[in-house]
Structure 1
Amino acid sequence: MNGALVFSPLLGWPLVAVAGAVALLIAGLALWRGLAGWGWRALAAAVLTLALANPVVQQETRAALSDIVVVVVDRSASQRIGGRAAQTDAALAHLQSQIAALPNTELRLVEVSDAQSNDSDGGTRLLTVLSDTLAEEPAARVAGIILLTDGRVHDVDINPQLPAPTHIVLTGQPDDWDRRLIVRNAPAFAILDEPIRLTLRIDDQGAAPQTDSVPLTIAIDGGEPMRFTVPVGRDIELPVTLPHGGMNVLQFETPAAEGELTDRNNAAVVQINGVRDRLRVMLVSGEPHAGERTWRNLLKSDPAVDLVHFTILRPSDAVDPTPTEELALIAFPTRELFVDKINDFDLIIFDRDRRRGLVPDDYMQNVANYVRNGGAVLVSTGPEFAGAESIARSPLAQVLPARPSGQVFDGAFRPQLTELGQRHPVTAGLPALSGVDEDGNPLWGHWLRLLDVKPTDSAEVVMSDESGHPLLVLDRAGEGRVALLSSDQAWLWARGFEGGGPQNEFLRRLAHWLMKEPDLEEEALWAEPQGQQMRVIRRTMEDAAPPVTITLPDGSTATVTPTEVAPGRFESLWTAPEAGLYRLTDGTLEAVIAVGPAAPREFEQTIATADILSPLTTPTGGGTLAASDSMPDVRTVRANQTAFGPDWIGITPRDVARVTSLQTSPVLAAWAWLLIAAGLMLIGWLREGRRGGAKP
């Protein structure tokens, strides 16, 4: 019980003040005039003013509240190495028993795990969790805070307000040591066939034994590792040449040493995208025509393309008196292009070219051999392809994906994707770039001419007209690739005729498929990391995708079956249990993917330390005790006293209570106040009567 005198004015404090002021003024006036009994009347006015102030007695019934001790337990990845998990469990059990033995004290237990990080590499967010916990508890009841951790936290910028002595119970051993591999410099992109220099470093932390050098292996896409011996504690520059275009996954690893805390930071994974330095393209236009500039503009718009373009302005047998040296900008270097430097080109385009004797058959045979050896040829045809001068009658026909029938269709037609073309990466998804009508047909403008061609047995027809005549035919010849576009009307899309079409994307994909761009392979398996998840993607020309087996970093396996999300594209979303290198295979194709950061923050620094948290805990009067020395006792201490010792930590009892009931009663009843005031006024009147009023 706890009582107090409080006021609850009947008319509000402003009116009470006015009434008191009037009473005081009248009493002063009576005193100035020397009226008898003025004092009694003043007392009566004071009693009435006090009655208006309404004094009441307030009595509270309180229940004592328990003190709260907040214990934050670090369960992050660095707390699961070197026996720290068992050490943490033992320390926690001891603290729970100590706090349970304290009178009127309860425990608030909070655990911090990696999953509470805001991103896949958030590290230990211990202070964030502590701040959120304190926000939910009344600060007046918090008697102490205990942090059970290795001290490796990554959110010291939070700086929470600590209302009570805060202590660190530090896990780990004083003789702990660890070895860490660091990739200091690794580019996101690299030029193929050119060495890049990666900067690595191997550091020993803690009480490490003296070591001058250690072995190091480097594997690309999970292949045969390259082995090196590198020094410890120094930056090392290693030259690496990427073996292929597209994503290259490089894994660096040094073997685990006896006695080190963990080998999780002995490896690092880097993903580097291999790109070609310059793409060399030769464009041979057989004659000037409306679509010639379409090819030139497309290729010149790409800064990575070196274009060599020749246009045959007139045939050699044309009747024209203009001297050749005045007509040609430069002499057509036939032998240099088709013999000496043909293998320097990544792509050769014949745009409405015909046999005129400028390129002998021996040179066209070189082009066919160039394709078989890994080159790429694109033939864009016009009416000349169906005639006697067709390049299909040259040795190049050995690698062409189709032969002309001799028939030319002059008339409007709308390009269509074949069933195969809806799956092929060159043409898949093109209708979506321009929209489709109610029947799902692309809203593309008409072309006005088409040559009838007969595809070879191995060729793939991915585009046609409405009647099924082949428009775009693709094929492989030896190690190379070849494509034939049986119309010279693609430029109509570029001009926006009848709304045009996705001409730039269409021709870009076609050219890059011919040059073996990895992103445009028909049969492909890859994975895209999304935090701790990976999206497994299988592209195929078949109707179904086989199951994919995933090999985890620890050697165990998991199987996923991708489902079709678009024609020819199958996907499956899978959650990876840990960061590291994952290998995928469906029995035919293989892929390698790195999940999570190359060097997780939890394993950047693994030696336990109180240096990070001490600037926060020391001002509260708290201290640091090592769990490896002894389990600390928990004691109660008064405020502003030292709250820790060699083997104990202290909490400050708060003695906080909660009001369970509140009773109020007036000091006097209203009639009593009036009776007292009337009595005082009567005395004053009698006093005045005896003295006979005021003095003369």
Structure 2
Amino acid sequence: MTGSVILDPLVPEILLWIAAGVAALFVIYAAVRRMPGWWLRGLAAIALLAGIANPSLQREDRDALTDIIVAVVDESASQRISDRPDQTEAALARLQAEVDAQDNTELHVTRLGDAEGDGGTLLMTAVAEALAEEPTARVAGIVTITDGRLHDIERAPETLPAPLHTILTGHEDDWDRRLIVKNAPSFAIIGEPVELTLRIEDQGAAPGVASVPLTIAIDGGAPMEFDVPVNQDLPLPITLDHGGTNVLQFETPTAEGELTDRNNAAVLQMNGVRDRLRVLLVSGEPHPGERTWRNLLKSDSSVDLVHFTILRPPDKQDGVPVDELSLIAFPTRELFLEKIDEFDLIIFDRYRRRGILPGLYLDNIRDYVENGGALLVSSGSEYASADSLFRSSLESVIPGAPTARVYEQGFTPELSDLGQRHPVTEGLEMATGEDAPGWGRWFRQIEVEAPEGSQVLMEGIDELPLLVLNRVGEGRVALMASDQIWLWNRGYEGGGPQLELLRRLAHWMMKEPELEEEALWVEPTGLTMRVIRRTLSEEVNDVTVTHPDGTETVLGLEEVSPGRFATTWEAPEIGLYRLSDGEEETVIALGPSAPREFEQTIASGDALAPLVEGTRGGTFVADDGAIDLREVRPGRPASGRGWMGFIPRGAYLTADITVTPVLPAWLFLLVAGSLVVGAWLREGRR
């Protein structure tokens, strides 16, 4: 119960003050003139003014409110390593016990998780939001339980209503090792070295080793191991050997005693581009399809095409003197002996053996394929003759033995069962558009027998092989058992997807990863993964996903189209994920491989120190155990050895208010009149 006097003037307040001034002048005048009753007149003026002011006595019934200590508990990813969760909970329990021991005080706890994406620890944002939910007049103290690694110090409130204290988790002997990839380009030219910069950095109480092992793997291939220095920038030249996406994995093994391995690995996706795709096209004779091949290859500005057409074979005898011929001699020695390895793809278009290419040169082409080269044979009727290119040393690499039979009749090329699943021809039936009438017919097919192990993707008359692929050694070979694809290019009977087919065919022969028959990859959208498995098999294994923290999740896949199995999965956090189905493996980094939370993992109060010192609070170590809670006055130091202070607020809630007049107005008037009469009598007696 508290009381106070309040005024409720009967006239405007300005008039009351004017009256008080006039009365004061009269009283002063009377005192100066030494009138005998001046002091009685002064008292009468005061009584009259008091009656006009209408004073009342106000009494309040108050309910005391508790003081609030706000605790913000950091539960971000860096706070979940080592034994920090246990330290955090123990520190919070000790703080709760200290608050419970205080009179009229309560603890309000706010827990902070990981920010969306790679936002890191938004500790100051959490503090500001927690304070916004509490009455400022009741906040007696603020405590953060954290490792001190925050990423929003600029969002700290301009003023804090109470002392800020920090309880740091972690240990004095903590240390961690981090792998950093610097200045990594997003693409590189195939075959040309590009330089990355790596750095392996030790933080905290590290053991002080001079070098550590580093493992590098490209596209899941055999890992390469190196011994690299610590705390030094390491220039690393990388040469990509194929186009498309190249996945580079860098990893250093987890050392005994380090805080976490979440920042020991990095994944870099680099797009390989070809500076120039060198193609050698040899046409055995002029024919309508020759222009089609040339136009298709020249339509791509990145293709460097060398094209020769044999217009005058050696066996041609027409009596024209050699010195009068304007034909360019076929530079067979230069192309097939000296510079054959410079070509990415060799195409034989309706070529027949006429003695132009000796057996030694054909042997070089065979070796070129076995060592990783690519050969495409587009065959006409000559392929079924005795002069067939198959009847040479190339027999061991060309995936189709001619039977000497040639069909000269109309047929529509169709995809085989395997072709509907193979990435070269998958979905080609829709390549001309959903409203297209279908593929146009061809009118010549050479009967061939595909060897065991080859892949028949397209079929023609009586389901005979039309497009056959095969792997030979390290290289790849394709055979088109017809020379009629040019009809599609002319749009005959609606044409067909010749451009898309030949593009995919060339990319498969160039070993582009997106055209591999067996592949496992991930298409990420934020934290959502679409896991895709492409295979020529009818069934696939489940995919095991290894999380950044080492836990595993098994995903089942469903067939979404011929040869494609997929599923969608929501990842719980950003970081590096490894996927495997026992046959194929891949890695994917959602966000950075090492999130912002793991750039700095050693606990430190340096970032929070200016805020803590600005409120005269303190920084404490969770390992030190219990911390006493004491009351302090505003402006005084709020921390000391083993204790933290809070400011008692004395906040209350008014339950009831009673207002009672000090005296009735008539009584004030009576007192004033009595004093005036007394003054008159005093003066009259004199």
Matched, 1:540 2:535: yes
- Counterpart pick for 1:233 among 231, 234, 241: 231
Amino acid at match of 2:307: H
Q: What is the Cα deviation at residue 568 of structure 1?
A: 0.4
Q: Quickly say closer, same or farther: Cα 1:266–1:397, change in 2 above 3 A.
A: closer
Q: 1:301-347 CA deviation, whole Å, 9 max, x = no partner? A: 5455432222334556385969677533x421123223333343221
| SS state at 2:536 partner | coil
Matched, 1:634 2:629: yes
Q: How does 1:403-442 map to 2 (within 5 A)?
A: 403=402, 405-410=405-410, 413=412, 415-436=413-434
Percent of aligned pairs with the same amino acid = 56
| SS state at 1:327 partner | coil
Q: What is the Cα deviation at residue 224 of structure 1?
A: 6.3
Where does residue 652 of structure 1 map in the other structure? 647
Query: Take 1:394 and 1:263, find their aligned partners in 2: how far apart are those partners?
Result: 57
Q: How does 1:191-590 map to 2 (within 5 A)?
A: 195-208=193-206, 211=209, 213-220=210-217, 226-239=224-237, 247-253=246-252, 256=255, 260-272=258-270, 278-302=276-300, 304-313=302-311, 317=316, 327-328=326-327, 330-360=328-358, 363-364=361-362, 366-382=364-380, 385=383, 391=389, 396=394, 398=396, 399-401=398-400, 403=402, 405-410=405-410, 413=412, 415-436=413-434, 443=436, 446-457=439-450, 458=452, 459-464=454-459, 468=463, 470-491=465-486, 494=489, 501-528=496-523, 534-549=529-544, 559-573=554-568, 584-590=579-585
Residues 5 and 57 in structure 2, CA contact (< 8 A), matched pair in contact too: yes
Where does residue 116 of structure 2 map in the other structure? 118
| SS state at 2:154 partner | coil
Q: Quickly say closer, same or farther: Cα 1:364–1:275, change in 2 above 3 A.
A: same
Query: Take 1:564 and 1:5, find their aligned partners in 2: how far apart are those partners?
Result: 83
Query: Take 2:111 and 2:258, find their aligned partners in 1: how far apart are those partners?
Result: 26
Where does residue 128 of structure 1 map in the other structure? 125
Structure 1, unaligned stretches of length 5 or more? 8-15, 21-54, 438-442, 674-696
Query: Take 2:535 and 2:542, find their aligned partners in 1: how far apart are those partners?
Result: 13
Q: Quickly say closer, same or farther: Cα 1:103–1:284, change in 2 above 3 A.
A: same
| SS state at 1:201 partner | strand
Q: How many residues align?
A: 622
Residues 348 and 377 in structure 1, CA contact (< 8 A), matched pair in contact too: yes
Where does residue 48 of structure 2 map in the other structure? none
Structure 2, unaligned stretches of length 5 or more? 16-54, 666-686
Q: Quickly say closer, same or farther: Cα 1:154–1:502, change in 2 above 3 A.
A: farther
Matched, 1:600 2:599: no
Q: What is the Cα deviation at residue 513 of structure 1?
A: 0.9
Query: Take 1:431 and 1:134, find their aligned partners in 2: how far apart are those partners?
Result: 63
Where does residue 87 of structure 1 map in the other structure? 87
Greater shift, 316-325 or 199-208, is seen at 316-325
| SS state at 1:512 partner | helix
Q: Quickly say closer, same or farther: Cα 1:224–1:321, change in 2 above 3 A.
A: closer
| SS state at 1:599 partner | coil
Residues 581 and 593 in structure 1, CA contact (< 8 A), matched pair in contact too: yes
Query: Take 2:614 and 2:498, find their aligned partners in 1: how far apart are those partners?
Result: 69
Structure 2 length as normaliser, TM-score? 0.76
Q: Quickly say closer, same or farther: Cα 1:61–1:187, change in 2 above 3 A.
A: same
Query: Take 1:462 and 1:227, find their aligned partners in 2: how far apart are those partners?
Result: 40
Q: What is the Cα deviation at residue 192 of structure 1?
A: 5.4
Query: Take 1:362 and 1:355, find their aligned partners in 2: how far apart are those partners?
Result: 13
Where does residue 66 of structure 2 map in the other structure? 66
Query: Take 2:202 and 2:585, find their aligned partners in 1: how far apart are those partners?
Result: 35
Q: Quickly say closer, same or farther: Cα 1:383–1:401, change in 2 above 3 A.
A: closer
Q: 1:346-370 CA deviation, whole Å, 9 max, x = no partner? A: 2111234344543346544543454
Q: What is the Cα deviation at residue 251 of structure 1?
A: 2.6
Amino acid at match of 1:635: R
Q: 1:607-646 CA deviation, whole Å, 9 max, x = no partner? A: 3222212333443443323334453322333434433333
Residues 408 and 449 in structure 1, CA contact (< 8 A), matched pair in contact too: no
Q: What is the Cα deviation at residue 147 of structure 1?
A: 0.8
Query: Take 1:530 and 1:75, find their aligned partners in 2: how far apart are those partners?
Result: 25
Q: What is the Cα deviation at residue 425 of structure 1?
A: 0.2
Query: Take 1:512 and 1:210, find their aligned partners in 2: how far apart are those partners?
Result: 49
Q: What is the Cα deviation at residue 95 of structure 1?
A: 1.0
Query: Take 1:191 and 1:251, find their aligned partners in 2: how far apart are those partners?
Result: 20
Where does residue 28 of structure 2 map in the other structure? none
| SS state at 1:447 partner | coil
Query: Take 2:437 and 2:530, find their aligned partners in 1: how far apart are those partners?
Result: 33
Q: 1:667-696 CA deviation, whole Å, 9 max, x = no partner? A: 9xxxx99xxxxxxxxxxxxxxxxxxxxxxx
Residues 73 and 148 in structure 1, CA contact (< 8 A), matched pair in contact too: yes
Q: 1:147-188 CA deviation, whole Å, 9 max, x = no partner? A: 111211112232335333222222334454444343334444
Residues 190 and 273 in structure 2, CA contact (< 8 A), matched pair in contact too: yes
Query: Take 2:151 and 2:416, find their aligned partners in 1: how far apart are those partners?
Result: 55
Residues 527 and 535 in structure 1, CA contact (< 8 A), matched pair in contact too: yes
Query: Take 1:533 and 1:495, find their aligned partners in 2: how far apart are those partners?
Result: 44
Query: Take 1:151 and 1:642, find their aligned partners in 2: how far apart are those partners?
Result: 22
